Structure 1
Amino acid sequence: MKDGTRMLLSRDMKHDILEKLAEAMYSFKAYPDDDDYTSVSQSLISKHPSLTEPGPQPGYYGWKNSLKFKMGNYRTKLRRAGCEDVIVNGGKRSKNNPEGESSRKNIKRPKRGEANYLPNLPDRQNEEGLESARLVLVEEMKKKQHNGLLMANLMDQTFSLRRQEIVKKEPAVQDIVERWPALFTEGEVFAEFSRIATKHLESSFFESLDKHTPRIIELLQSKKGAAGLKIQELMANLSSDVTARRSVVLKGLPIVFGDDPNKFYKTCFETTKDEAIDNVTVGVLTILSEDDPEQPVSTAIVLEGGIVMDKIRDLPQAFCLIFGLTYALNLDYPKCVGNTFKFIQSVMLGLGNKALPPKLLTVKNMLFDE
């Protein structure tokens, strides 16, 4: 520390350091991004200054590059050992497999803070046994009175089988509805999100939404121009009612971010429901009574052009559920409200990469500016 003497590392010692770092990083992320490698390398030489590298480059640059290679080797070892979250990306193009797809193409990995993206099957369990449990679940869902405790236990038990099927095979949503009908109940949407992201979605979502609602409403009211005109129409529905305030915020944020909420939020009468569904790929459908158009009969969730959940109590609850389903079904965010979903994930729920595009970062700074 006094004279800046650097440590002369043997090859074996450097290997051991990199191996331990890779093992620790993998416990957080199977596929770290560039910022993660930079952060770890900087922390290494900060904790142990004698490992700082000489030269004009930052003193951690070589460690960062070496760690990237070591992480790739570590994943290869785990792939050979049978870890599903890296096996799923095996078989890419190489000199031994020239016909395989590009190593950078169609990589299946957590991108939104999923802690359990693709778990292995439980110890002493196989696909046949878990498939039998799935069939019991299907039969239970056919009953008028479900055994909630049995369903919850079986859904926990079959989580790994379900994730492997959804992530690896990428089935159509309607196929998942047929095979896993219990997944499309409110309780199990939230339970599945908790299994994947280790966070209680419903309470976290509404707690954050209510916390930021006053500042977001101030932001909405300050908007001018075309966006301001659209927001003025929304403000006509603003009242002291909690549900009304939540609805205004959830419909207003897409306008602020340049999304298109009209493609996501749809309204129809009971008699025109089928026609309305044909015009929605993914979104929230509010169904009105022709006798009383001011009072919604039901709120439904549409995915891939079909209703997967209905009779939801209100629009904010439906939004929360459709957000949870994007995790449960490993779906991309709807393009028409992609910025809004990303903001809710990163800012309101604190999941995944915190890097935000400028328009989202501006709103974040406004919300947290004391």
Structure 2
Amino acid sequence: MKHGILEKLAEAIYKFDAYPNEERCHSVALALISKHPCLREPGSPDGCSGWKNSLTYKMGNYRTKLRKAGCAEVAINQGKKGAPGMASKGLKRPKRFEVNYLPDLPEGQNEDRLEVERKLLVEEMKKRNPSGTVIASKMDQTFPLRRREIVEAEPPVKTLKERWPALFTERQVFAEFNSIATTNLENDFFGAKLAEIVQQIDSRKPDVTAVRTLVLQGIPALLGDDPSNFYNTSFDSDSDEAWDQVSVGLLTVISEDVPLSPNHLHLDPVSTAIILEGGIVMDNLQNLPQALCLLFGLSYALHLDYPKAMKNTFSFIQRVMLGLGENKLPPKLQTLKNLLLS
């Protein structure tokens, strides 16, 4: 009976997390004895220590079984060593609650066939008026191939832009995020949490973009982040080469008639752009909040780490604004959430 229970639990856990840590296995064990008190272990301090240990090793065995069956999400780590329940630092695994981290190729498809579709997608993007329907269909079809390339090979952003130009459009950034995290990024980013924060700051009928910009530029300061190299401003006559040293950031381009100040909101910019690995990958965006929303989406789509200097801010967006993650927040994030939403 115990074997059957652990097998079913492993199947259910895997749908949420292929590499659960000890804390998550413990929470499952607690839920098990809470639902079925007859399974409580006599003599155990919390009644479930044995279940937790068994679950930890069961998940390791379950991954081995899936790896032998060719499951891409765990096969990518074949040969890498780590404790059965705790993946080692070098393992590639979901870290930000990605639901479709590394999906298998569709039945009846292979990499060669999907590569043909990718090339057709590139040709479609070269047209003066590319078909949104065709692009959406082929991007959806090639999603597993793209994830395999991005997660396994980790190519430079410049290479990805050449191979997957459609991925750097607003519509496809949002679609890709939805495919990975099964969450509507745009709706949730500008939804209840941000709206509530805006309401707390100004209960009148404010310029929504102005207050959103103020909030998003203020959050890093409250969390102890350093946005000095993240929020960038330039004149429209400046060269793009000025951003060669910026690994991740936003760029607000203003007219030379406007005073250049990093602390100014610049609500009527010439353009707003996203910088990745020293180059502009998306430009002519509506405003800074929209650009930050898209940049967050790209961090998932391109499997990028959060910028170190803005790690707390990006975690706040993920955990608080989008609700992606465990309910228990780190102290910094919980304190700011209480401050802004109380």
Per the shorter chain, which TM-score range? over 0.9
How does 1:76-87 map onto structure 2 within 5 Å? Answer: 76-87=64-75
Shift of 1:122: 0.5
* Contact 1:217–1:249 (8 Å) recurs in 2: no
Please state if 1:145 is matched with 2:103: no
Please state if 1:31 is matched with 2:15: no
Aligned equivalent of 1:361 = 334
After superposition, the Cα gap between the structure-2 partners of 1:199 and 1:56, relative to the gap in structure 1 and judged at 3 Å, is closer
Aligned equivalent of 1:306 = 279
Shift of 1:279: 3.9
Distance 1:315 1:58 in 2: 49
> Which residue, out of 257, 265, 276, partners 2:223?
257
Shift of 1:303: 0.3
* Contact 2:80–2:91 (8 Å) recurs in 1: no
Aligned equivalent of 1:273 = 239
Shift of 1:44: 1.4
Distance 1:330 1:308 in 2: 15
CA radius of gyration, larger in: 1
How does 1:10-49 map onto structure 2 within 5 Å? Answer: 13-49=1-37
- Could you tell me the percent identity over the aligned residues? 60
Letter in 1 for 2:36: H
Aligned-partner SS, 1:301: strand
* Contact 1:92–1:103 (8 Å) recurs in 2: no
Please state if 1:209 is matched with 2:197: no
Aligned-partner SS, 1:203: helix
> Which residue, out of 289, 293, 297, partners 1:324?
297
Please state if 1:133 is matched with 2:106: no
TM value normalised by structure 1: 0.85
Aligned equivalent of 1:158 = 142
Letter in 1 for 2:317: I
Please state if 1:90 is matched with 2:78: yes
Aligned equivalent of 2:99 = 115
Mean alpha-carbon deviation: is it higher for 123-132 or for 40-49? Answer: 40-49
Letter in 2 for 1:290: E
Aligned-partner SS, 2:271: strand
> Which residue, out of 178, 184, 192, partners 2:168?
184
Letter in 1 for 2:233: T
Shift of 1:36: 1.7
Shift of 1:214: 3.0
* Contact 1:268–1:276 (8 Å) recurs in 2: no
* Contact 1:347–1:354 (8 Å) recurs in 2: no
* Contact 1:167–1:330 (8 Å) recurs in 2: yes
Distance 2:47 2:326 in 1: 25
Aligned-partner SS, 1:296: coil
Q: Deviations over 1:155-208 (max 9, x none)?
A: 000000000000011111111001000000000000000000111111111113
Distance 1:275 1:288 in 2: 17
Shift of 1:353: 2.9
* Contact 1:281–1:305 (8 Å) recurs in 2: yes
Distance 1:217 1:252 in 2: 15
5+ residue gaps, structure 1, are 1-12, 95-101, 219-238
Letter in 2 for 1:68: T
Aligned-partner SS, 2:229: helix
Shift of 1:93: 4.0
Aligned equivalent of 2:211 = 245
* Contact 1:112–1:353 (8 Å) recurs in 2: no
Q: Deviations over 1:118-144 (max 9, x none)?
A: 000001111011000000011111111
5+ residue gaps, structure 2, are 260-265
Distance 1:56 1:71 in 2: 22
Letter in 2 for 1:339: N
Distance 1:21 1:279 in 2: 47
Distance 2:298 2:24 in 1: 28
After superposition, the Cα gap between the structure-2 partners of 1:357 and 1:216, relative to the gap in structure 1 and judged at 3 Å, is farther
Aligned equivalent of 2:50 = 62
Q: How many corresponding residue pairs?
A: 331
Aligned equivalent of 1:170 = 154
Shift of 1:277: 1.2
Shift of 1:216: 5.6
After superposition, the Cα gap between the structure-2 partners of 1:103 and 1:197, relative to the gap in structure 1 and judged at 3 Å, is closer
